[in-house]
Amino acid sequence: MREELRIQLEQFKERYSVEQAVQGRIARPMVEFIGEEILELAVAALLQGENLLLCGGKATGKNTLADNLAWLFARPAYNVSFHVNTDSTTLIGTDTFVGGEVRLRNGPVAQAAQYGGFCILDEINMAKNDAVAVMHSVLDYRRLIDIPGYECIHVHPATRFIATMNYGYAGTRELNEALVSRFTVIRMPTLQEGQMHRLLQAAVPEAAQENIDRCIGLFMDLDEKAVNGEISTHPVDLRGMISALRLMTDGMRPKDAVAISITNKCFDEYEYQLVQDVVMTRFV
C-alpha cells in the first residue's frame, strides 16, 4: 500500500476510537486479501467517506476484501446476509420488551451506525428493492436512520457500508438506480494463477505444494468450462478447494477430498460426469 494511504489510515484510526463494548467485533480475517491495486482503491474510497459496492463473479474475493478492510481500519464489523425475506426490521431493528417498556432492539445497520462500525451487506441484490430502500437516508448525505416512534439515529462519522453482489445467481435482481448511486462501485477481477497460489498457501499453509498446484489447475479448468457454458458455476468453488486441501492435510486421499468438496456439489447427473472427467485429469 502506498505510504500516503498508510499515513491517512493511521490518522483515521487515531481519530476514531472504538468503544470497549464492541472491540470484540474487530477480528483478524482468516485469509489475507490478494490484490494490491484493488485494496488501495477500496482504502482510498473509504478514507474519503464513500460506501463500497463490490461486484463480480464467484471466487473473486469480495467478502475477503470486506473483512480485510474492516480489520485494516480497526472497526467493529457487522454482517447482513440478504435473502428474499429480508425486510427493514432485519436491517434496522425490532421492538422488544425491556423492564416492561417497549424499546428498539437495534439491528446490524443501526449498531454499525451507533458504534462507527463497518457493515457488510452480503449479496445485496438478493433482497427486494423495498427492503433496501430504508438504506437510502443512511447512505447519502443525511447519514441518519429515522425510525417511527423512536429518535433518529445519526450515523457515526467512522461508519462505512460495504455491499457485495454476484452476477447471475438464482434469486438475484437488478439494484435500483437510487441505491447504486449511493455507492462507489469496484468491479472485482478474476483471480490469476499467482494470486490463487498465494491465497491457497495462506489459507492452508500445511498443504503439500503438489496438491496446491493440482487444485489451482482444477479450478482453472472448471472455470474455463463454466465461462464456455459447458457447466454451471456450482463446481467453480474456491471455498471447496480450500476445504479439499484441508482434508488432504488430514490424510484423506486427494480424489476423495475433491469429490466431497467439489464434484458432489453437482446434482445434475450430466454435469457431474463432466466435472468428474475434469477431476480425473488432475487427481487419479
Q: How many CB atoms lie within 10 A of CB 22?
A: 18
Domain range list for the chain: 3-187, 193-282
Give me the pLDDT at residue 97, please.
Answer: 66
Predicted pLDDT of residue 81: 87
pTM score > 0.85 for this model? no
Which residues are CB-neighbours of 56 under 8 A, at least 6 positions away? 62, 166, 167, 187, 188, 189, 190
- pLDDT at 1 (0 to 100): 80
Q: How far apart are CA 244 and CA 204, in angstroms?
A: 10
What one-character DSSP code corresponds to residue 23? G
Tell me the pLDDT of the chain (284 aa) as tens digits: 889 999 999 999 999 999 999 999 998 987 888 888 999 999 999 999 999 999 987 778 899 999 999 999 999 999 998 887 787 788 887 767 666 676 777 889 889 999 999 999 998 888 777 677 778 888 888 888 877 667 788 889 999 999 998 865 555 667 778 888 889 999 998 888 888 888 898 889 999 999 999 999 999 999 888 888 898 888 888 889 999 999 999 999 999 999 999 999 889 899 999 999 999 999 87
**Cα–Cα distance, 214 to 218 (Å, whole number):** 6
pLDDT at 210: 93
* CATH number belonging to the domain at 3-187, selected among 3.40.50.300, 3.40.50.720, 3.30.750.210, 3.20.20.70: 3.40.50.300
Residue 203: its pLDDT value, please? 85
User: What's the confidence (pLDDT) of residue 73?
Assistant: 97
Q: List Cβ<8 Å contacts ≥24 apart for 262-266.
A: 262/218, 262/222, 262/235, 262/237, 263/235, 265/234, 265/235, 265/237, 265/240, 266/231, 266/232, 266/234, 266/235
- Which pLDDT belongs to residue 91? 84
